[in-house]
Amino acid sequence: MIAAITAGGRVDGALAAAIGTDVKALAPLGGERLVDRSIAAARAAGASRVVVIGGAEIRAHCAGRVEKIVSEAAEGRENLRLAIEAAGGEPLLFLTSDLPFVTGDAAHAFVDRALGSDLALPLATEEDYLRAYPGAPPHITRVGNERVAGGSVVYFGPGVGSQVLAISQRLFDARKSLLRMATLLGPALLLRFVAKRLEIEHIEQRAVRVFGINARAVRNAAPNLCFDVDTLEDYEYAVARLARS
């Protein structure tokens, strides 16, 4: 299995001032950089090679830490394409570089449960997420009768990355918005969304019918696969939480 980590995201304003750089992946956290946590998790999950996609600052930081560094694309969603291409037909564990609590055990357990699928995304229950991160900024969304936190880790089965490239980019972009997900997957799901009858199973089934892929939601995943740093509040929470541990 290959692991690929996108680390090209830029930030500005108060978050950039707080972390001392405009490269989010290089935010200092617990004596290391944010991206280092994704690298360590990928190794512990069983990746034979780790590839990082980023700019000059990431190249300087990650040199000697990973097997390959790929120059980032101008658009963030194109970096997912670069990650998929880096797998070269092998199974791929894709991670973002802004997961402050991610662990190798959680990533490994997710991969074990994702095996056999073409595309898999972890979901943590609201109960588990809030128990793990009490008082954290909101990351919960409702899907039918379920309230879940979506992960920023994706599994691609062997040889399927190139086949699902176009849809995987769009699905990943839409992972935090159920409305965008429903719109992407067609009018039937959009109607279910409007009627508040959209369930996770409907999304999985629609992906098979429309795109011919076995897409799987890995339920009851570890919350640390789902907490990512999007805002200054997320970062400050992570720093404070790690300082107490």
| Enclosing domain of residue 109 | 2-244
Q: What is the DSSP string of 168-227?
A: HHHHHHTTT-HHHHHHHT-HHHHHHHHTT---HHHHHHHHHHHH---EEEETT--GGGT-
Assess whether pLDDT exceeds 50 at residue 189: no
Kindly report the pTM of this predicted structure.
0.83
Q: What's the domain count of the chain?
A: 1
Question: Residue 224 corresponds to which tokens in the numbers above?
Answer: 């640390």
How high is the pLDDT of residue 163? Answer: 65
The CA-CA-CA angle for residues 228, 231, 235, to 5°, reads 65
**Helix, strand, or coil (residue 49):** strand
Least confident range from 69-73, 116-120, 132-136, 220-224: namely 116-120
Q: Confirm if 173 and 79 have CB atoms less than 8 A apart.
A: no
Assess whether pLDDT exceeds 70 at residue 177: no
**H and E: helices and strands count for the chain:** 11, 11
Residue with tokens 């879940």: 148
Assess whether pLDDT exceeds 50 at residue 243: yes
Specify the CATH number for the domain of residue 85.
3.90.550.10
| CA–CA gap between residue 106 and residue 224 (Å, rounded) | 7
* Most confident stretch, 137-146, 169-178, 206-215, 216-225: 216-225
Question: Residue 165 corresponds to which tokens in the numbers above?
Answer: 């490239």
